[in-house]
Structure 1
Amino acid sequence: MNSKMFHLLMDQCENIAVRDVYISAPKDSPNTDGIHIGNSNKVKISNCYIATGDDCISMGAGTTNINISSILCGPGHGISIGSLGKYKGEKDVRGISVRNCTFTNTTNGLRIKTWARLSVPTTVSNVTFADVRVNNVKNPIIIDQFYCPHSLCSHQGESAVQIKGVKFIDIKGSSSSQVGVDVQCSKSKPCQNIQFSGLDLTLAGTTQPAAASCSNANNKFLGINQVPSLPAS
C-alpha cells in the first residue's frame, strides 16, 4: 500500500509467480506502478486487485514470456508495455499474454508506448490481449509511438521501435472518450500485423459506438459486427 514508486519490481528474474495480491495507492499519486517487470522471463501474474496512480502492471525492455490473467485494475493507467526506446542496449519484448482482465475508471486499458525522438531500435512482437472488459476507460486500446509525458520531452521525430504481431480479441465495454481504438505508429517503423476481432466498445453512458483511429499501421479488423469495425478514414 502507498509505495513511493513501484509496489512490486521484478528485474532480471525468471520463473516468478505472483497471485492473490492486493495493491493500493491514491489515484493522483505519481509513478506508483503496481507491478513492473523488466529484463525478465517466464513471469505469471494472476488474480490480483490493483488500484494505483500509474500503471497497474507495466512491462519494460527485455520482458519475455509473460502471462497476465484475472486482474482487476482501477483506478490507474491500465496495463502497459513500455515506455520503450529511450535507453541504449534495450532488449526486445515478446511473448506477452494478457487475458480475462477488467479495467474500471482507468486512464488506459491496454497500451503499448514508445518514445519518438532519439528512440533506440528494439522490437515488440507476439502480443495477445484477450477477453478484456473495460468500464468507463478513457483509452481502452492505445498504441502510442509518440509518447511524451512531460514538457522536457518532444513528440517530434519517429520511433525506431518495431511493433508487430499484436492481437486484440474480445475487448468489450465502455470508453469515456470518442476514440476507443487509438493506434498511432511510427512512419519510419510502421506497426505490422495488428489484428482486432470481437470488439464491442461504446461511449460510456450511451449506446453510441466508439471510433477507431489508426495511422502508419498494417491493421486488420477481422469478422463482422465489431464496434468499431473500421478506423475512421
Structure 2
Amino acid sequence: MRKVRNPIVIDQEYCPYASSSCPESEMSPSKVRISDVKFRNIRGVSATRVAVRLSCSEAAPCVGLELRDIDLRYVRSRVPTQSRCKHVAGGVVGGTLVPPSCI
C-alpha cells in the first residue's frame, strides 16, 4: 500500500454525511456481528496516523479478529502509526505488528 487512507478498517459507526457527526436520529447500533476476519501480511505507508481502526457495534461486538504480520508506517516517518479499537471482543495477534495491536 502507498499513502492509503485508513488501510485497515471496520466501521460499524459509518456516517454518510460529510460532517464528522451524524444526527442522533440517524444513529443506531448495528445488530450485524462481524466475526473471523483476518488481516495478514499487510505492509505499506498510511496517509492517516491511525492505520488500524476497528470500530465495532456495541450491540454486536466483533469477535475472532486476527492481526498478523502488519507493518504500516505513517507517511510522516518520524510519527508512529496508531491502532484504535472499539467494541472488539477478543482476537488473535502475531508476528510483526506496526502499529501495536489494540485487540
TM-score range, shorter chain: 0.7 to 0.9
Query: Does the Cα contact within 8 Å between 1:148 and 1:154 map onto a contact in 2?
Result: no
Letter in 1 for 2:86: S
Letter in 1 for 2:7: P
Quote the Cα distance in structure 2 between the aligned partners of 1:227 and 1:221: 15
Quote the Cα distance in structure 2 between the aligned partners of 1:226 and 1:207: 17
* 1:106-117 correspondence runs (5 A): none
Q: Deviations over 1:30-79 (max 9, x none)?
A: xxxxxxxxxxxxxxxxxxxxxxxxxxxxxxxxxxxxxxxxxxxxxxxxxx
Partner of 2:99: 228
Partner of 1:186: 57
Q: Specify every segment of 5 or more residues in structure 1 that has no aligned partner in the other structure, as ranges.
A: 1-133
Q: Specify every segment of 5 or more residues in structure 2 that has no aligned partner in the other structure, as ranges.
A: none
Query: Does the Cα contact within 8 Å between 1:170 and 1:199 map onto a contact in 2?
Result: yes
Choose which of 5, 27, 44 in structure 2 pairs with 1:173.
44
Aligned CA RMSD, in angstroms, stands at 2.2
Shift of 1:155: 5.5
Quote the Cα distance in structure 1 between the aligned partners of 2:28 and 2:40: 31
Shift of 1:222: 2.0
* The structure with more radius of gyration: 1
Query: Does the Cα contact within 8 Å between 1:138 and 1:176 map onto a contact in 2?
Result: yes
Partner of 2:29: 158
Partner of 1:148: 15
Check 1:231–1:223 CA distance in 2 against 1; reply closer, same or farther (3 A cut).
same
Quote the Cα distance in structure 2 between the aligned partners of 1:195 and 1:155: 30
Shift of 1:195: 0.6
Quote the Cα distance in structure 1 between the aligned partners of 2:60 and 2:26: 16
Quote the sequence identity (%). Answer: 33
SS of the residue aligned with 1:223? strand
User: Please, what TM-score do these two structures have when normalized by structure 1?
Assistant: 0.39
Check 1:219–1:170 CA distance in 2 against 1; reply closer, same or farther (3 A cut).
farther
Q: Deviations over 1:124-182 (max 9, x none)?
A: xxxxxxxxxx1101100110001121278955220011110100001111111110000
Where relative contact order (Cα < 8 A, 6+ residues apart) is larger, the structure is 2
Quote the Cα distance in structure 1 between the aligned partners of 2:10 and 2:58: 14
Partner of 1:137: 4
Shift of 1:186: 0.5
Equivalent pairs counted in the alignment come to 99
